[in-house]
Amino acid sequence: MKNLEQKLKLLPEKPGVYIMYDSDMQILYIGKAKVLKNRVRQYFHQSGNQTEKVMNMVAKIADFSYIIASSELDALALEANLIKKHKPPYNILLKDDKSRPYIRIDTRQKYPSLEITRRLKPDGAKYFGPYFGVAIREMVELISGAYLVRACNYKRFNRSHRECLNYHIGLCSAPCVGRVSPEEYRRQIDKVIAFLSGKDNHMEEILRDRMTQAANEQKFEAAISYRDKLEMLERMKQRIITSLPKTTNLDIFGFASNPSLSVISALIVRAGKMSGAENFPVIDVTLSPNEMLSSFLVQYYNGTRNPAEEIIVPCLPDDHEGLKEWIFSKHKKTVQFLAPKQGVRKQLLDNAFINADDYLKNYAGREKIKRDMAKGAVDNLQQILGLKRKPHIMECYDVSNISGTDKVASMVVFVGGEPDKSRYRRFRIKTVEGADDYKSIHEVITRRLERLKNNDERFGAMPDLIVIDGGKGQLSVANDAMKRAGFDIELIGLAEKEEDIYLVGRSEPVKLDKSSWELKLLQRIRDEAHRFALGYHKSLREKHIVSELVNIQGIGKKLAQNLYKSFLSIENIKKADIQSLKQVKGISDSTAKKIYDYFHG
């Protein structure tokens, strides 16, 4: 502590980022500060006002370092990048947000369509969302049908094929065969954009008129389709917040806390409609609600989440002006922070608090127990296996091949005992002939450590422990690859049959109780590596089989995929008779004969 006191006196009165370490020099926490000297000293000199969470962390601090930034904005950006890279256990860490869908419209195309995407790109297209808690595909189908927008994937438009079923039942204007001019189609797309922006409310009228017309013309299939779409629209309307203008976009954040845990609830309003809600249990060791909100929002908007123009909060985040600048630098969008005291926005904020409080009382406690079990297993593994460092960041590798073809390997990463899927990586084996697991492992470890040596940010920070799916032999070649690469990272091997744990330099394995959390943690990461590698192997295998099958006349990608799912290999397809081939979805008598003749002609 005496050494820390000396360092505290030398802290500069400048903006920057500070990093807290434990006795093993593993990072506990990363924070930012307008004035480094004031902020860091607060952790050590305000024990009477600190929460249980903060005191638990401070008790583990053995050292700290800092990085001076040229401005508060630079400090905020640096903090976000360092947290993303190192995933410290006491920072607010949000799960990857790739799963939230958006609707994308590329207005640069001659005949745009509505696409569902989970990635925002600065590509000039218009994005709407995110949407969660809604059936996004049904929503796209509803909007496309109402405004007669194409639902196909055609990239080229000509008159060499017929109109699809959607045209004949009145759900598409058939731009693919020139049934609508580019100018008229553009007007349809403009109406879609207006609807998604909350500026057009005529969809119900359009659908009802078409349903009536179809019924009068005795086109009952089309009338039923319009009726179903009206029912879907009614369900969507139930999400509309009547007191808000239909162009309003809001991100609303409320939080609830107990001495050991906090929950932040996010409510998303787009075009005046509630598009979803999400709860985030977090271990918060910041020193004020304002700082906690700032730290959370940096992580929340550091991925692909698209911010609303208005961000509603119970109190203004720490350095909210700098946060606004940072959001603009990331998303090219100007936002406004509001802490309302009355009105509909205050009602929504209260609702976010109610959601957070309910989740804290009913669910977050169980999640914390799970995290504590995982964290306890991580801590215990250091003692049980005699490791030099706590295995906070673990990487596990598995090789997958069948008969030496499509050889692949996986790398999965657990941080604090939990999967961090944003760091998962896949490898295609390049230098190994045939099915040779030992050489494949050597190649993969070599390639991964080369990335580490070259500071490849896509591969994250250096692991504390590498787990190899295998026994003595696999561990030995992995260790050789690691030494040749010039690293000193601890490795273990987990042999699947007896679940024995092998360590470098020890002839006898370590055997853990089959019911222990420590063994279950190692099994989880090993099984996850196996699942990830096998999934990649299967996708490559399907790709190769499909690429051969599409050479058969009359077989497109969809039919080829159906054949693969039914037979799983080219050999099985070759052995199938015409009757068996006809059982596959979409395969007609003539197509089945063409497939049979292709392999037997």
Q: What is the DSSP string of 466-512?
A: EEEESSHHHHHHHHHHHHHTT---EEEEEETTTTEEEETT-SSPB--
Q: Which fold has domain 550-600?
A: DNA polymerase; domain 1 (1.10.150)
Asked if 410 and 529 count as a contact pair (C-beta separation under 8 A), the reply is: yes
pLDDT for 468: 94
CATH pick for 250-361 out of 1.10.10.410, 3.30.420.10, 3.40.1160.10, 3.30.1330.40 = 3.30.420.10
Distance CA 259, CA 251 (A): 26
Q: Could you state, in order of their start, the residue ranges of all structural domains in the chain? A: 2-86, 102-128+135-237, 250-361, 393-539, 550-600
> Backbone phi, then psi, for 525, in 5-degree steps?
-70, -35
Please state, in angstroms and as integers, the Cα–Cα distance from residue 118 to each residue in 151, 286, 469, 564, following that order: 18, 31, 32, 27
Q: Consecutive sets of 10 residues in the chain, 601 residues long: mean pLDDT of each?
A: 79 93 90 91 73 82 91 86 86 64 88 86 81 75 86 67 77 85 91 80 81 84 80 66 72 87 88 81 80 90 87 92 91 93 90 88 68 80 91 92 74 90 89 84 93 80 91 93 93 89 90 87 92 83 77 80 80 81 81 80 66
pLDDT given at position 477: 94
Specify the pairing of strand 425-428 against strand 465-469.
unpaired
Q: Which fold has domain 2-86?
A: GIY-YIG endonuclease (3.40.1440)
Q: Strand 63-68: give its sheet, edge to edge.
A: 27-33, 16-21, 63-68
Asked if the domains at 250-361 and 393-539 fall in one CATH topology, the answer is yes
Among residues 2, 34, 30, 39, the alpha carbon closest in space to that of 16 is found at 34
Distance CA 95, CA 422 (A): 9
Contact 494, 485 (CB under 8 A): no
HSE-up of residue 130 (Cα within 13 Å, Cβ side):
24
CATH of 393-539, picked from 3.40.50.2000, 3.40.50.1010, 3.40.640.10, 3.30.420.340, is: 3.30.420.340
Sheet of 126-128: strands edge to edge?
115-117, 102-105, 126-128
pLDDT per residue as tens digits for the range 340-350: 998 889 989 99
With CA atoms as reference, report the closest residue to 566 among 557, 556, 576: 576
pLDDT, position 114: 92
CB 82 within 8 A of CB 26: no
465 neighbors 489 (Cβ within 8 angstroms)? yes
HSE-up (13 A, CA, CB side) for residue 383: 5
Q: What is the pLDDT of residue 484?
A: 94
To the nearest 10°, the Cα dihedral for 302, 307, 313, 319?
Answer: 50
